[in-house]
Amino acid sequence: MGIPEKQWAQVIEPDNSLVYKQIPVPKPGPDEVLVNIKYSGVCHTDLHARNGDWPLDRKLPLIGGHEGAGVVVAKGSLVGDEVNVGENVGVKWLNGSCLACEFCQKGDEPLCAHAELSGYTVDGTFQQYCVAKAAHVSKIPKGVALDAVAPILCAGITVYKGLKESGARPGQSVAIVGAGGGLGALAQQYAKAMGLRVIAIDGGDEKKALCEQLGAEAYVDFTKSKDLVHDVQAATSDGLGPHAVILVAVSELPFQQAASYVRSRGTIVAIGLPANAYLKAPVFGTVVRMINIKGSYVGNRQDGVEALDFYARGLIKCPFKTVPLSDLPKVYELMEQGKIAGRYVVEIPQ
Ligand code: NAD
Ligand code: ZN
Ligand code: ZN
């Protein structure tokens, strides 16, 4: 089957409306591949891009999406045997980077000043055919289902990296804040696979049921708890609080609470990106309890290889719901209301 001239896409127009329409199929540049996207996860970052609520300029008109799983259908003249037509690959948030700056050379490609971001500074995966830099696509092993693996390409890689950044060791406890969302659900699975004990924090009974199913040892409901700091500390076996906190929530308050319940010498890893939000911690307590507070931003290419390898080995099992690409606005509506337990994946028409 040849590559068509036209394709279906969800386009954010310059007036910020989201329109499902036919547009031309893009052509890959010399160092790029063209990927026929089969499925794409819907990350809360796509909603930030749709709402334009971050202090970072986005391309407009814009096609969102950065958890795309599909098949390479064409490649540019400079792409060698490292990626071939017919192979299954993933298109991630980091669509490309310069590969030559200090950050790229040291394996911190997400920090590259010339990084291109899928579904933000370049068109993403909510279309049938997407362009990505050959050096940055992730190889998806044969036999791995493209719908289930899609959320690994952002949510999975990001939380895997964040857990490594936390320094938590097997047997230690980690609080996952926003545990019932897309990143949170996968964070629970990676944490368990890494030998960590999970305290899940989120709101509502549907998310409670999901967290229990995913193996959390405790669930603290932020909508019901009268003393969240006490409840989180009490959920650890010795009452001293979690060794690490992974913040993947989409509101500001948890970013200001974590320093109160993390264990002394513990680490807080900020990953969620609520608009206009600030981290807060008392200087005295942070100093005398030797608390470490840091950010973590997606992952490099090797983090992608490792996160996909955990998945391919059957260690990461996460429920997801699939809807057609045309239903993307409904997914955004549910996401805005905080009603999504786990991840939605959109099926791209073929
Ligand atoms: P999501 O909507 O699926 O999940 C967010 C969860 O946070 C929801 O379950 C919600 O109920 C929960 N929540 C809201 N307020 C809370 C509170 N006070 N306490 C506990 N839980 C609370 O979103 P997602 O796709 O998992 O993304 C989460 C955030 O991570 C977004 O801001 C996204 O942009 C960001 N993100 C960051 C990176 C990175 O590299 N740092 C990568 C991907 C996504
Ligand atoms: Zn994402
Ligand atoms: Zn660079």
CA–CA separation, 314 and 309 (whole Å): 9
Tell me the best of 166, 206, 248 to mutate to test the pocket of ligand 1, counting ligand atoms within 8 Å of each CB and taking the most.
248
Across the range 120-137, mean pLDDT stands at: 98
Measure the CA–CA gap between 126 and 36, rounded to whole angstroms. Answer: 11
For residue 1, being part of any structural domain is answered with no
Mean pLDDT confidence for 275-292: 97
Residues 171 and 131 in one domain: no
Share of the chain above pLDDT 90, in %: 99
Identify the sign of the CA torsion 252, 254, 260, 262.
Answer: negative
CATH of the domain at 116: 3.90.180.10
Q: How far is Cα 56 from Cα 62, in angstroms, rounded to an integer?
A: 14
303 and 280 in a common domain: no
Residue 299 has a pLDDT of 98
Task: Indicate if 129 and 230 belong to the same structural domain.
Answer: no
Mean pLDDT of 229-257: 98
Distance 343 CA to ligand 2 centre (A): 11
Ligand closest to Cα of 112 equals 3
pLDDT for 128 equals: 98
If one counts the domains in the chain, the total is 2
Q: pLDDT of 165-216, one tens digit each?
A: 999 999 999 999 999 999 999 999 999 999 999 999 999 999 999 999 999 9
Give 107 Cα–ligand 3 centroid separation in angstroms: 9
Instruction: Judge whether 138 and 35 are in contact, CB under 8 Å.
Output: no
Q: Is residue 267 over pLDDT 70? A: yes
Q: How many CA atoms lie within 13 A of 313 on its CB side?
A: 10
Nearest Cα neighbor of 123 from 250, 271, 265, 24 is 24
**Domain assignment of residue 232, yes or no:** yes
The closest residue, in CA terms, to atom 30 on ligand 1 is 272
Predicted TM-score of the model (pTM): 0.98
Q: In degrees, to the nearest 5, what angle opens at C-alpha 304 toward C-alphas 165 and 206?
A: 75
The rounded mean pLDDT for the chain is: 97
- The H-assigned helical ranges of 194-299 are 205-213, 228-234, 253-261, 283-288
Helices in 142-272 by DSSP H: which ranges? Answer: 146-149, 155-166, 182-193, 205-213, 228-234, 253-261
pLDDT of residue 5: 97
- Cβ–Cβ < 8 Å for 268, 76: no
Residue 111 above 70 pLDDT? yes
- Tell me the ligand closest to 93's alpha carbon: 2
273 alpha carbon, closest ligand = 1
User: Are both 315 and 264 inside the same structural domain?
Assistant: no
pLDDT of residue 182: 98
Return the pLDDT at 322: 98
- Reply yes or no on whether the pLDDT at 230 is more than 80: yes
Please give the average per-residue pLDDT across 315-319, as a whole number.
Answer: 93
- CATH code for the domain of 193: 3.40.50.720
Q: pLDDT at position 1, please?
A: 64
For residue 3, what pLDDT is reported?
96
Tens of pLDDT, residue by residue over 58-88, are 999 999 999 999 999 999 999 999 999 999 9
| Nearest atom (ligand 1) to Cα of 297 | 40
Q: Does the CB atom of residue 272 touch ligand 1 within 6 A?
A: yes
Ligand 1 midpoint to CA 95 (Å): 22
Residues 82, 15: one domain?
yes
Question: Residue 7 is which amino acid?
Answer: Q
Choose the final residue of a domain: 252, 279, 295. Answer: 295
Separation of CA 131 and ligand 3 centre (Å): 19
d(CA 114, CA 182): 28
171 lies in the same domain as 282: yes
- Interatomic CA distance for residues 150 and 12, integer angstroms: 22
Q: Does some domain include residue 192? A: yes
- What's the whole-number mean pLDDT along residues 79-105? 98
Ligand 1 binding pocket includes 96 (Cβ within 6 Å): no
In ligand 1, the atom with minimum distance to the C-alpha of 183 is: 26
44 touches ligand 1 (CB under 6 Å): yes
Does residue 230 share a domain with residue 218? yes
Spell out the residues 6+ positions from residue 334 whose beta carbon is closer than 8 angstroms to its own. 340, 344
Mean pLDDT (whole number) for 124-140: 98
Q: What's the order of all strands across the beta sheet hosting 62-63?
A: 18-24, 6-12, 62-63
The number of the ligand 1 atom at minimal distance from the alpha carbon of 110 is 40
186 with 159: CB under 8 angstroms?
Answer: yes
Q: Whose CA is nearest to atom 29 of ligand 1?
A: 272
The answer to whether residues 55 and 165 belong to one domain is no
pLDDT of residue 181: 98
Is-contact 89 140, C-beta < 8 A?
Answer: yes
Residues 142 and 17 occupy one common structural domain? yes
**If you average pLDDT over residues 28-54, what whole number do you get?**
97
- 273 CA closest ligand 1 atom index: 32
Structure letter (DSSP) for residue 127: B
Whether residue 181 sits in one domain with residue 109:
no
- Residue-number span of the structural domain to which 21 is assigned: 6-154+299-347
Three-state SS at 49: helix
Shared domain check, 53 and 22: yes
Same domain, 148 and 163: no
Stretch 126-131: mean pLDDT, rounded? 98
